[in-house]
């Protein structure tokens, strides 16, 4: 079955760039929507964005100016870059597979999630 694993540094300094990679096994990233979601300590889920269709992206408007999500189909991986981080970016970061469809009304759900990786922003 499809499995996702997040990798990246657990500690990032303020003002620097957070970089994470999600490796997908058991399925190809050339289909579906590949998402990043984060969860600050003790708080709810926040969608960051996704990549699909070999490079197209959509982002959370509140983060769009700082976020880049890209895919490397040769490695079956997709990545997150978040620039100019501050303490409020401290969170568990999850990657997840998404499915979208419909005609007049669109559905979207995320059916496979990674275990998450904790990123702390601190000097």
Partner 1 sequence: SYELTQPPSVSVSPGQTASITCSGDKLGDKFACWYQQKPGQSPILVIYQDTKRPSGIPERFSGSNSGNTATLTISGTQAMDEADYYCQAWDSSTVVFGGGTKLTVL
Sign of CA dihedral 46, 79, 6, 30: positive
Output the smallest distance, CB 26 to partner 1, in A. 16
DSSP conformation class of 9 = -
Output the smallest distance, CB 93 to partner 1, in A. 11
Output the smallest distance, CB 17 to partner 1, in A. 23
Closest CB to partner 1 among residues 16, 92? 92
Closest CB to partner 1 among residues 1, 74? 1
Write b or e for each residue in 91-110: b if 16 or more Cβ atoms lie within 10 A of its Cβ, otherwise e: bbbbbbbbeeeeeeeeeeeb
Three-state DSSP at 98 gives strand
Q: Residue 5 has which token pair?
A: 């694993």
| Residues in the chain, overall count | 123
Which residues, at least 6 apart from 42, have a Cβ–Cβ distance to it below 8 Å? none
Output the smallest distance, CB 123 to partner 1, in A. 27
Closest CB to partner 1 among residues 61, 74? 61
> Which residues would be at the binding site for partner 1 (CB under 8 A)?
35, 44-47, 50, 58, 60-62, 94, 98, 100, 102, 105-111, 113-116
Closest CB to partner 1 among residues 105, 122? 105
């Amino acid at each position: 079955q499809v499995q996702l694993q997040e990798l990246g540094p657990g500690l990032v300094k303020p003002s620097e760039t957070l970089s994470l990679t999600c490796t997908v096994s058991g399925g190809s990233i050339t289909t579906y929507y590949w998402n990043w979601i984060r969860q600050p300590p003790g708080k709810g889920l926040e969608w960051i964005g996704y990549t699909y269709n070999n490079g197209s992206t959509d982002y959370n408007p509140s983060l769009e100016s700082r976020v880049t999500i890209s895919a490397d189909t040769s490695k079956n991986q997709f990545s997150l870059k978040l620039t100019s981080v501050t303490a409020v970016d401290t969170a568990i970061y999850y990657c997840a597979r998404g499915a979208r469809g419909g005609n007049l009304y669109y559905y979207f759900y995320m059916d496979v999630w990674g275990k998450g990786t904790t990123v702390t922003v601190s000097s």
